[in-house]
Structure 1
């Protein structure tokens, strides 16, 4: 059975991906360590890799903040960097020897904000653009080892990501993506005979409502 590590599996896009993979004969490893607890995360992951190699790493966990940069606390700045950028880089580092054995695949869930420059998104954009560029550079590094690397940039998606914000996608079904459809796209990327290195997923309409 193919083994996959999926972060952010408890809700939203990560949950949809984990469930779809399990329905397609994958064993999904759900790490319990918090992504900003680096030593604990490293220890848990190494224990998992002793059991068996993995074929797929999907870095899906993410946090956001959208407000004037001077209003963001130092702790929040560090949290976004840790979860959105540092953790995927560390997990990729720890999993690469295993992925090289299985000729596996790394998929990083970035954001539409990695491709543009939006007001009140400087910090979030920095972390997601960093993840996107990490993915693209890592693909070039790993081409000869046959490890695939894909970066996905989803636009507005109907999840609890917006719970703490003062805005969210409108109720118009053409104005947001569903986690289940993103998960289906992930499966198609995995099964593609080649490498999709970078893909942006967008709803047809742009409609945001304030809470």
Structure 2
């Protein structure tokens, strides 16, 4: 059976991706280390690789903050960059030899914000657009190796991502995505002959609800 590492597997989009992968023959190898503790993360991944080859890395874990940039603490800035951008780059680095061996795939879950510029989103957009550009460039590097790299840019998706934010997706029909929709997109990417390098998924309508 193929083995996948999915960050953010415990809730939201990551949980939905893990579930659909398990239904389609993947074993989910779960990371226990915090993504902002690179020393422990590196040790855990190296321990995993001693007895496992990895076929798929899904960089899904993410945190968000949307407020005036001067109001964001340095600690929060570091956390956002570590989780949203540094961890995916480091995990890709650590797993690439194994992924080359299995001719596997890296899927980065970025955001619609990676494709546009929104008020109070400078920090979040920087991390997600960085992740998107990392994936697009890495694909060019890895084409001869047989490793696929895909970035998925979801629009507003109904998850606990918004629990601590000042807004959330509207409850109206066709104004939000479900985590299962993004999970199905992951499966479609993996089943495509060829490589989908970049895909944006959006609801038909746009509407947010202020808390």
Please report the TM-score for the alignment, with normalisation by the length of structure 2.
0.99
1:173 CA displacement = 2.6
> Corresponding residue for 1:79?
79
Q: Which residue in the other structure is 2:9 paired with? A: 9
Query: What is the CA-CA distance between 1:135 and the residue it aligns to?
Result: 0.2
State the Cα distance separating 1:172 from its structure 2 match. 1.0
Which stretches in structure 2 are left out of the alignment for 5+ residues? none
1:127 is paired with a residue of what secondary structure? helix
* Distance in 2, Cα, partners of 1:94 & 1:86: 12
Aligned to 1:59: 59
2:191 alignment partner in structure 1 = 191
Shift of 1:53: 0.5
Local SS of the residue matching 1:97: helix
Match of 2:94 in 1: 94
Task: Give the structure 2 partner of residue 210 of structure 1.
Answer: 210
Q: 1:60-209 to 2 correspondence within 5 Å?
A: 60-209=60-209
Measured against aligned partners, the alpha-carbon deviations of 1:155-196 in whole angstroms (never above 9, x if no partner) come to 000000000111111111300000011101100100100000
Deviation string, structure 1 residues 108-138 (Cα, Å, up to 9, x no partner) = 0000000000000000000000000000000
List structure 1 segments (4+ residues) > 3 angstroms apart after TM superposition: none
Distance across 1 between alignment mates of 2:101 and 2:125: 33
Q: Tell me, which stretches of 5 or more residues in structure 1 are unaligned?
A: none
**CA–CA separation in structure 1 for the residues paired with 2:87 and 2:198:** 20
Task: Report how many residues are paired.
Answer: 211
Q: Distance in 1 between matches of 2:49 and 2:22?
A: 19
RMSD: 0.5
1:45 match:
45
